[in-house]
Amino acid sequence: MKQIREIRNSKAGKTLFANFAYLSLLQIANYVFPLLTLPYVVRIVGVENYGYISFSLAVVMWFTTIVDFGFNYTATRDVARSKDDLDEVSKIFSNVFWVRIILLLICVIPFSVLVYAIPMLYNMRIVLFTTVLLLPGYIMFPTWLFQGLEKMKYITILNILAKSVFTFSIFIFLQKSEQYYFQPLFNSIGYMIAGIVSFIIIIWKWRIKLLKPNIVGIKQTVSGSFDIFINQLFPNLYNSFSVLFLGTVHGTISNGIYDAGVKLANIVLQLFNLISRTFFPFLSRKIEYHSLYAKWLMFLILILSILLFVFSPILIDLIFSNKFKDANVVSKIMSISIFFLVLSEVYGTNYLILIGKEKLLRNITLISSIIGFILSIPLVYYLDYVGVAITVFVVRFLLGIFSFYYSRKIYKYEVSNS
């Protein structure tokens, strides 16, 4: 309790709690907007077309990971430590921006080739290309910069702007099942608008400069984030690959059922992403408060995991209708898995990265993801969407246990030496 009072009474603590309040408002919006649009979208487009949307998003998530390149952690950490130096922040902002543009161009070319070369993807080309439009808006909306500067108010306002554009457009224009591609199209347009507004704020309001591309700076930026990039890329071996394999082997209806099953767990995870994003820049400067942060967060996720496990059948029926009752088993498996995923975030992302142990976290993720990839093929083939859920659970379990074990081992070693 003494530590909590110290945080609350300090300037950094007041900023922390203000940011948490803004991100809490954003979290409420993240709950409200899907509750408004999701039942409507599912009812209009149907299970099969909703599966197309889910499949396309899984494809684009691979490219999102590449374009991000781990900057949501490394750049956030660097900005948080240099937030009072406008010139240094401008360098970080510019280098990350240009690297992301280069990566976007690298991604778009093979993506287009694959769409036109593979018949299955070609038949889905409209929804795939409307979904990939998320990437330009994602680049122009640098959440990592707002987070590093601890300006969470702007993340909240711009996200609500994007979601408002999406929501109003969906209700106005989506009227027929064959218009299912409107869902990713309006989602992309919303983020593009938010990205343009964020650029105006950054360049004209805050006077952060977008400098010319610097080869040396770009190389340093890439090398400094490579381990985190690997840490984020390899989970796609078991996660996105499993979803893609599921759609290929069992069809898009299975994709739709699986997606419905993970939706509730993802809503809970959004809450913990909110807390993690709030504390990441704070812990970048004050790592001594990590044990307090970890204790309270793990207690909270334990309670919510139990509640989700118990009430998931009622919630699935309420939100998605009884057509998605098969998604209940997926939701129950995911409700257990989120405890271990948050464990890996608390002791991996928000500890090992902050103490400079990116390579250790990379190796944990690499080994766990390879195991998940190997397991996913037989599990998905024989168990359909349940196989995807089991794959995700196993990998999250490994990530959580190994992150906890090694972080505690390092902590005890440093305490004994000091």
Domain boundaries, the chain: 28-223, 234-418
Closest among 168, 178, 194, 237 to 375, alpha carbons compared: 237
3 pLDDT above the threshold of 60: no
Tell me the pLDDT band of 78, cut-offs 50, 70 and 90: confident
Instruction: Quote the Cα angle for 192-198-199, to 5°.
Output: 90
Query: What does the block give as tokens for 190?
Result: 């919303």
Tell me the pLDDT band of 7, cut-offs 50, 70 and 90: low
DSSP secondary structure letters along 356-398: T-HHHHHHHHHHHHHHHHHHHHHHHHHHTHHHHHHHHHHHHHH
pLDDT for position 6: 58
Q: What is the mean predicted confidence (pLDDT) over 121-126?
A: 83
Of the two residues 47 and 101, the one the predictor is more confident about is 101
Cβ neighbours of residue 320 closer than 8 Å, sequence gap 6 or more: 38, 39, 42, 260, 263, 327
Tell me the pLDDT band of 402, cut-offs 50, 70 and 90: very high
CB atoms within 10 A of CB 86: 13
pLDDT for position 229: 82
Query: What does the block give as tokens for 263?
Result: 């939706």
> Where do we find the tokens 């359909």?
384
| Helix (H/G/I), strand (E/B), else coil: 347 | helix
Query: Whole-angstrom Cα distance, residue 399 to residue 270?
Result: 19
Q: How far is CA 385 from the centre of its chain?
A: 21
Q: How far is CA 240 from the centre of its chain?
A: 13
Q: Per-residue pLDDT tens for 178-206?
A: 777 777 788 788 888 888 888 888 888 88
Q: Per-residue pLDDT tens for 257-300?
A: 888 888 888 878 877 877 887 787 778 777 878 888 888 889 99
CB 319 within 8 Å of CB 325: no
**Residue % of the chain over a pLDDT of 90:** 15
74 pLDDT above the threshold of 80: yes
pLDDT for position 236: 65
Q: Per-residue pLDDT tens for 313-337?
A: 888 887 777 777 888 899 899 999 9
pLDDT for position 58: 73
Q: What is the mean predicted confidence (pLDDT) over 26-34?
A: 70
Query: Whole-angstrom Cα distance, residue 259 to residue 330?
Result: 9
Query: Whole-angstrom Cα distance, residue 178 to residue 107?
Result: 28
pLDDT for position 98: 93
pLDDT for position 137: 82
pLDDT for position 99: 92
pLDDT for position 395: 92
